[in-house]
Amino acid sequence: MTVRPGQIIGEYRLVSFIGAGGMGDVYRAEHLRLGRPAVIKMLKHLDAGGAAWQRFFNEARIQAKLNHPNIAVLYAYYDSGMPPCIIMEYVDGLTLDQMLQQHGRLAPETTVEYAVTIAETVHYIHSRGIIHRDLKPNNIKINSRNEVKLLDFGISKAAFSQDLTAAGNCIGTDRYLAPEQLQGHPAGVASDIWALGALFYEMLTGRKAFEGGTWGELYTAISSATYIPPTTFVPELSPDLERIIATCLKKQPAQRYPTAAALANDLRIAAFPRGSVPSGATRRHWSLPGWSGRGKWPYWAAGVLLALGLGGGAFFVLQDDTAEIQPRKSSPVPLHLATPPPETIPQTGLRTVRINVYGNPARVYLGTSKDPQGNPHPTPYQTAYPRGTHLYFILQRPGYKNCVGDFTVQDSTEANNYTYQLCKTTEPCPPSGCK
């Protein structure tokens, strides 16, 4: 079927050709009566009932079930008497890929603003049983109002979707695939979080987290979770942001953030400049209802926290800040981030933490300082800390390298259950000494 500008499809007139996607050609269109701009994606391969058609229909069905300000809206789906067409909201602006091409990399504060919204949006689709499976700069757009829009659900997987991937195969864009996907395992929440880590790395550095001159080299880099630390390219980058990326890019899925919401919350905490939080206050106010996640404070943003019986109490006032953050081409202003010291975390309930290792037991040193001291405990070791506490640990076993790392206490029992694989002293392994 020949398609040309001016052609009528349903209630829309084609205006111009935008480009070609993986499954379809994309056109800008306009509603005949309302004048509303739209995008029409038209399936290229007319295999009625075949794999391409099923995948195309899957995209429309998934997008029809989503209602979120940071996801492009589906207007209509046609598949009668013409090539199947998806008609959706027209999003102006640039993709993150285009922004990175123009600016090289984004300022840390800009990255955090966008990253919080992206992570929250991904958590929204996860909460509806949908895995995106193709999170990358080309599939995220920043419109003229500086709002994030998540695009392209063409290879997303939902509970109601047919099995569109052959057994043992992986689907997605190579450089954003998680190690378990390369091994043929199904994509899940953890693999989307891995892709978010690779995406945020690229936003901060202007470089791909995983590179390779050949497919074999790329496969090795991803499979071993080996990448150049982002501070190599951006020395002024906050340790907190580097830690967040490292948590997303853990080789073992269970060691990544348990949810995209936990990732978003850690990004919010990291966004406070050092010293901006008064003594006795907590940075958890980012999680209060009304936070838009689009680079603006809520309009009601004025709150007072009164702590009685603590030396007269402590007050904390939220300030209104409606300035939009724009991408910068020049060198970004360093963003100094800090993890809240344990004493600022309210004692609102303890969460059980369990640490174990594969194989024979090890000794674990655990604490809130970067160099945990005191008596070691044998694994498996179980204890309890307030939610939000940042913990550091050292695992020791004769004949093995010390395993060192850190994590933040989460809400769920599953999220606080950590199991590590120690590295023998005679074997190459990550700097942390564990996998």
Find out whether 122 and 190 touch, Cβ atoms under 8 Å. no
CA distance 133 to 173: 9
Residue type, position 313, single letter: G
CA distance 173 to 321: 37
Give burial (CB, 10 Å; 0-12/13-18/19+) of 314: middle
Catalytically annotated residue among 25, 47, 92, 134: 134
Report which DSSP code applies to 175.
G
DSSP per-residue string spanning 43-106? ESS--TTSHHHHHHHHHHHHHHT---TTBPPEEEEE-SSSS-EEEEE---SEEHHHHHHHHSS-
Find out whether 42 and 24 touch, Cβ atoms under 8 Å. yes
Active site residue 134: yes
CA dist list (Å): 95 to 124, 144, 154: 21, 11, 17
Which active-site residues does the annotation give? 134
